[in-house]
């Protein structure tokens, strides 16, 4: 979609390969999207589809092997030092596991004041402490004095994840990559963390790349944003969240949505299922020809789907789909 062309952060035809033994595995293929200030883009898909690799590329932790990642219009990997430092500061990442992402030998005070001092955001220790206490308040760890001197092991999973968020916020980021940031938390505290992230977006205009395998969480968090569904390293469908959830077009999206059990006995037991032709997920070492979903797809047409890789095409309502059959039926092939 053209309206996102002037986004703060853009991926343009990004490709990423890894060497596995003597073979080369293409983990990401032709990924393009753009995210503007205060936007949310949710990446969903099953394990191995490339969600986390995309997140790492967006956060600048991994260079792409093809294509470009642009921040404020400039290619991140050809920036000068000054620009790169600005980008690194503006884009922060929150990891999945709050038990391993915090240094167990450091107190919350050190975890939060170190980056403040290192980046010159606070001029001295007194100022750093004030700022750190304020950040603890922002992430709802109140009263902040109770948490300031604690070690990570003295905190619950939810509290640790809040400290991770506070640490990401120390450098005033404009963009957060949240990689399964609530997946390890218990349901009763998950929602409050999502609400806090949403508040940061509303109040501070923080944009999100929100990575999750849970479509219900994606729906809840990204209702005003977009969802991109990934399969074997490609985006197969992308569009506004209500469209993807309530009117999915791609057979893979449909299969996913129909397969998810819901916490509502009536709804979940009467749901219509999409039946796939095969349950096996192909290996990335041996990606099927043409559309990589074709061996499992209920709409499969020999000679079409196994011959050509489908490109994302506009099908209306701001949705783009990469499927030959859907495109033909919508008259946009």
Extract the tokens encoding 271: 């749901």
* Residue number, 14 or 291, with CB nearest to other proteins: 291
- Cβ 240 to other proteins shortest distance, Å: 12
CA–CA distance, 134 with 158 (Å, rounded to integer):
19
In the complex, minimum distance from the CB of residue 297 to other proteins, in angstroms, rounded to a whole number: 13
| Residues forming beta bridges with residue 19, ordered by sequence position | 24
Q: Nearest approach, Cβ of 73 to other proteins (angstroms)?
A: 33
Q: How far is the CB of 25 from other proteins (least distance, A)?
A: 18
Using the minimum distance from each CB to other proteins, give the nearer residue, 116 or 244: 244
CB distance 139 to 169 below 8 Å: yes
**Site residues (vs other proteins, CB under 8 A):** 46-47, 140, 156, 158, 186-192, 195, 213, 215-217, 219-220, 223, 242, 245-246, 255-257, 259-269, 273, 276, 279-281
Residue with smaller CB distance to other proteins, 88 or 226: 226
Closer CB to other proteins, residue 46 or residue 329?
46
| Contact (CB, 8 A) for 228 and 238 | yes
Minimum CB distance to other proteins smaller for 53 or for 113: 53
Closer to other proteins by CB, 82 or 280: give it.
280
Q: State in angstroms the smallest separation of the CB of 191 from other proteins.
A: 4
- Reduced 3-state DSSP string for the chain: CHHHCCCCEEEEEEEEEEEECCEEEEEEEEEEEEECCCCEEEEECCCCCCHHHHHHHHCCCCCCCEEEEEECCEEHHHCCHHHHHHHHHHEEEECCCCCCCCCCCCCHHHHHHHHHHHCCCCCCHHHHHHHHHHHHHHCCCCCCHHHHCCCHHHCCHHHHHHHHHHHHHCCCCCEEEEECCCCCCCHHHHHHHHHHHHHHHHHHCCEEEEEECCHHHHHHHCCCCEEEEEECCEEEEEEEHHHHHHCCCCHHHHHHHHHCCCCCHHHHHHCCCCCCCCCCCCCHHHCCCCCCCCCCCCCCCCCCCCCCCCCCEECCCCCEECCHHHHHHCCCC
Q: Between 216 and 313, whose beta carbon lies closer to other proteins?
A: 216
Closest distance to other proteins from the beta carbon of 273 (Å): 8
Residue nearer to other proteins on the CB measure, 211 or 217: 217
């Amino acid at each position: 979609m053209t309206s996102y062309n002037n986004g703060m952060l853009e991926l343009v035809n990004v490709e990423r390969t890894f060497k596995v033994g003597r073979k080369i595995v293409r983990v990401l293929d032709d990924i393009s999207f753009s995210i503007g200030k205060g936007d949310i883009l949710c990446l969903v898909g099953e394990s191995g589809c490339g969600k986390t690799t995309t997140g790492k590329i967006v956060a600048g932790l991994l260079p792409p092997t093809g294509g470009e990642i642009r921040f404020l219009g400039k290619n991140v990997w050809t920036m000068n030092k000054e620009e790169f430092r600005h980008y690194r500061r503006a884009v922060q990442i929150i990891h999945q596991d709050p038990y391993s992402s915090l240094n167990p030998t450091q107190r919350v005070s050190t975890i939060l004041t170190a980056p403040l001092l290192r980046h010159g955001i606070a001029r001295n220790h007194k100022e750093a402490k004030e700022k750190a206490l304020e950040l603890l308040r922002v992430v709802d760890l109140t009263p902040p004095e109770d948490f300031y001197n604690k070690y990570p092991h003295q905190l619950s999973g939810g509290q640790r994840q809040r400290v991770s968020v506070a640490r990401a916020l120390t450098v005033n980021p404009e963009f957060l990559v949240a990689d399964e940031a609530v997946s390890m938390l218990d349901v009763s505290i998950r929602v409050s963390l999502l609400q806090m992230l949403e508040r940061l977006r509303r109040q501070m205009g923080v944009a999100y790349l929100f990575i999750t395998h849970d479509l219900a969480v994606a729906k809840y968090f990204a209702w005003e944003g977009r969802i991109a569904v990934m399969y074997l390293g490609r985006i197969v469908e992308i569009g506004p969240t209500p469209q993807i959830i309530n009117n999915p077009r791609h057979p893979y999206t449909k299969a996913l949505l129909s397969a998810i059990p819901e916490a509502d006995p009536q709804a979940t037991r009467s749901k219509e299922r999409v039946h796939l032709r095969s349950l096996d997920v192909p290996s990335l070492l041996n990606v099927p020809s043409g559309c990589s979903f074709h061996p499992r797809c209920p709409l499969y047409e020999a000679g079409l789907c196994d011959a050509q890789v489908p490109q994302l095409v506009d099908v209306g309502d701001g949705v783009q789909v990469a499927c030959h059959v859907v495109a033909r039926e919508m008259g946009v092939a």
